């Protein structure tokens, strides 16, 4: 099994949101949560573990939700709606694609740098956001490595009968795949 675990990503996102809010002494820290596809098993699992991770931190409150369908255009629309209904938003959390749209919405409302962003994916746009300081942190995913490692394990199993067990595709990444401004240049 070579895969990322959605509940682990949700937990890491929750931990990063708590850290980001604390870095600015935000109490309350009003969070906008961007689903990719709200009804998907992926998003259900991630959201459940995210909420469990922030549960013990009363300052962190999810006040708005949106859905981006893994596209910046839908992320833009969702964040525009969030900002209209919650002008006191402190942080937006979601996939890199959704946060690409959030960047546009924040720029259009002069809120760039005023609202924190925590993402997952570690796309080129996400890494650029980290290097510029526009994003607080990203939980990395490694889909190409996931496939490469899976095929390698399959070939080994067929050729030698070796069982590779469970392989974490982000384990070898810097900081176990947690991208911050300090280490963003180490990710490609």
CB 90 within 8 A of CB 21: yes
Q: Enumerate residues 6+ apart whose C-beta is below 8 A from 184.
A: 127, 130, 131
**pTM of the predicted model, to two decimals?**
0.92
For residue 158, give both structure tokens.
């067929």
Number of H-type helices and E-type strands within the chain: 6, 6
Cα(188)–Cα(186) distance, rounded to whole angstroms?
7
For residue 97, what pLDDT is reported? Answer: 96
Encode pLDDT of 106-146 as tens digits.
999 999 999 999 999 999 999 999 999 999 999 999 888 88
Closest CA to 61 of 91, 21, 93, 31: 31
Closest CA to 186 of 177, 174, 176: 174
The 3-state secondary structure of 152-173 reads HHHHHHHHHCCCCCCECCCCCC
Q: Give the pLDDT band (50/70/90) at residue 70.
A: very high
Encode pLDDT of 5-53 as tens digits.
899 999 999 999 999 999 999 999 999 999 999 999 999 999 999 999 9
Q: Cα–Cα–Cα angle for 38, 43, 96, nearest 5°?
A: 95
């Amino acid at each position: 099994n070579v895969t990322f675990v959605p509940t682990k990503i949700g937990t890491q996102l929750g931990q990063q949101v708590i850290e980001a809010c604390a870095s600015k002494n935000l109490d309350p820290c009003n969070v906008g949560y961007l689903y990719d596809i709200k009804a998907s098993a992926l998003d259900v699992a991630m959201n459940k573990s995210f909420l469990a991770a922030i549960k013990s931190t009363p300052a962190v409150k999810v006040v708005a939700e949106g859905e981006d369908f893994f596209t910046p255009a839908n992320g833009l629309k969702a964040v525009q709606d969030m900002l209209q209904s919650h002008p006191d938003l402190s942080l937006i959390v979601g996939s890199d694609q959704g946060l690409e749209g959030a960047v546009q919405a924040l720029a259009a409302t002069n809120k760039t740098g005023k609202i924190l962003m925590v993402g997952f994916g570690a796309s080129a746009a996400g890494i650029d956001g980290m290097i510029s300081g526009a994003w607080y942190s990203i939980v990395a995913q490694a889909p190409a490595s996931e496939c490469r490692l899976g095929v390698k394990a399959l070939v080994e199993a067929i050729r030698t009968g070796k069982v590779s067990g469970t392989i974490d595709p982000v384990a070898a990444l810097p900081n176990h795949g947690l991208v911050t401004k300090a280490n963003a240049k180490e990710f490609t």
